[in-house]
Amino acid sequence: MRRLLILSMISLSFSCVAAADNKSPVGPGSGTSSVEQILRLTPREYEKMTGKKLKLKQKIGLKIYQWKLKRELKAEGTSQKKRLGILSLIFGGLALTAAVIALIASLPGVFLFSTVLAIPGLVLGIKSVSGKNVNTTGVLGIVFSGLVLFLFTLGLIALAFSSVVVD
């Protein structure tokens, strides 16, 4: 997060310096200072914006900066998804443990509590698995939570059919 903040500050200062040039279209009204546009900026476009010719060393530096910025953005998203996956695994594991205890000790209140724990476990697991980066903890959280919700659904079906009076 700190690196992303530093890179944002650098790009902001770059846009402010370029806006003071009057030759450059980068500035408050142009909207070209977003991260996506910096990532798509070619050396030729940069030369047109600033009116200065870049040397080979500066062109390579621009590409390295774009590569590092792209890696930082990807790492930031990956760490958030890992956090969601771990939370999903915790909720799913607690829900499965509570469901097993409820089934062994025949405690319907604890089983209902395990179902309440399984719902956020499932939601967080789905959020952590969405996208390109699939993490194992999110998948396990989905499996544990889904198992508890499946058992709860089977219990509701059994309860509904057992209350039907057969003539």
Residue 77 CA: distances (Å) to CA of 8, 57, 73, 97, 167: 16, 31, 7, 30, 60
Q: Can you tell me the mean pLDDT for 19-27?
A: 42
Q: Can you tell me the mean pLDDT for 75-96?
A: 87
Signed CA dihedral, 133, 4, 89, 137: sign only: positive
Q: The whole model's pTM is what?
A: 0.56
> What tokens does 25 get?
């279209």
Q: Can you tell me the mean pLDDT for 3-22?
A: 49
- The answer to whether the CB of 103 falls within 8 A of the CB of 34 is no
- The answer to whether the CB of 103 falls within 8 A of the CB of 111 is yes
Residue 50 CA: distances (Å) to CA of 27, 28, 151: 12, 16, 64
Q: Can you tell me the mean pLDDT for 73-90?
A: 83
> Who has greater pLDDT, 3 or 29?
3
C-alpha span between 141 and 136 (Å, rounded)? 9
Domain borders along the chain are 2-54, 80-162
Please give the pLDDT value at position 8: 53
Q: Which band of pLDDT confidence, cut at 50, 70 and 90, is reported for residue 41?
A: confident
Please write the tens of the pLDDT for every residue from 112-132. 999 999 999 999 999 988 877
> What tokens does 137 get?
């903890």
- How open is the CA angle 51-37-21, to the nearest 5 degrees? 30
- The answer to whether the CB of 119 falls within 8 A of the CB of 144 is no
- Mean pLDDT for the chain overall: 79
C-alpha span between 6 and 23 (Å, rounded)? 26
| H or E element, residue 95 | helix 56-105
